[in-house]
Amino acid sequence: MSVFFVVEKFVSINGEGQHAGELAVFIRLRGCNLACSYCDTRWACSYEAPAEQMTETEIIDYVKSTGINRVTLTGGEPLKARDIKDLLRAFAAEPELKVEIETNGSVNIVPFAAIPNAPAFTLDYKLAGSGMEDKMDLSNFAFLQPKDTVKFVCSDVSELDKVCELVDTYGLAMKCTVLISPVFGRIDPADMVNYLIEHKRNDIRLQLQLHKFIWDPDKRGV
């Protein structure tokens, strides 16, 4: 058995992504290799953050105990967790569970996508405002599938030009769902909508982080 450091586990709705608004069990693993300027889970990014040690069996037993069959693995950066393949293989052996993993775009997903019944990936691309754009692994774009999502979090409306460039260059909208969202409180979403209208981008979808409107934006466990 492998041991994973879980900083949060809870049931809520998916606040974003293809399954926004749907119930999911969240498993948040500690530690991240990036330090984005707008990170809203910085407390979970330290590899020293307080955490519950759980085996893959204990994690799956917890998920099953909730009665919810959709699972979101998040962080931090879950793909940097030690022995994460063991956890993904364990989930893959439970076909009734629908697993999505949120990853920051700096980690090559190929070894994980090759697992039979692999999870869906919500793959971030960190734009310039994050301070982490130079860490992005662009080779990941070649391996995305319809169940996957690419997510661009924009610090400024001008970053949408780069979003469109990447979507067009890599044919992202023909491979998977493409989402844009504003850094919470920093951009008026209406300006992003106006950009999409002006540029006739039927292939890009705006999302807002639902959990930050339902609960206090800084509330944990939701």
Q: Is 28 annotated as a binding residue?
A: yes
Q: Is 149 annotated as a binding residue?
A: no
Could you identify the residue written with the tokens 């693993």? Answer: 29
Q: Is 74 annotated as a binding residue?
A: yes
Amino acid at position 55, single letter: T
Q: Is 154 annotated as a binding residue?
A: no
Look at residue 18 and give its three-state secondary structure.
coil
On whether the CB atoms of residues 139 and 106 are closer than 8 A, the answer is: no
Q: Is 164 annotated as a binding residue?
A: no
46: CB partners within 8 A, 6+ apart: 30, 31
- Bridge-based pairing state of the strands 23-29 and 177-182: unpaired
- Bridge-based pairing state of the strands 23-29 and 3-13: antiparallel
Q: Is 15 annotated as a binding residue?
A: yes
Q: What are phi and psi of 146, to 5 degrees?
A: -55, -30
Could you identify the residue written with the tokens 């799956």? Answer: 60
Q: Is 39 annotated as a binding residue?
A: yes
Q: Is 40 annotated as a binding residue?
A: yes
On whether the CB atoms of residues 54 and 62 are closer than 8 A, the answer is: yes
Q: Is 76 annotated as a binding residue?
A: yes
Residue numbering of the annotated binding site for S-adenosyl-L-methionine: 38-40, 76
Residue numbering of the annotated binding site for [4Fe-4S] cluster: 32, 36, 39
Residue numbering of the annotated binding site for Mg(2+): 41
Residue numbering of the annotated binding site for substrate: 13-15, 28, 74
Residue numbering of the annotated binding site: 13-15, 28, 32, 36, 38-41, 74, 76
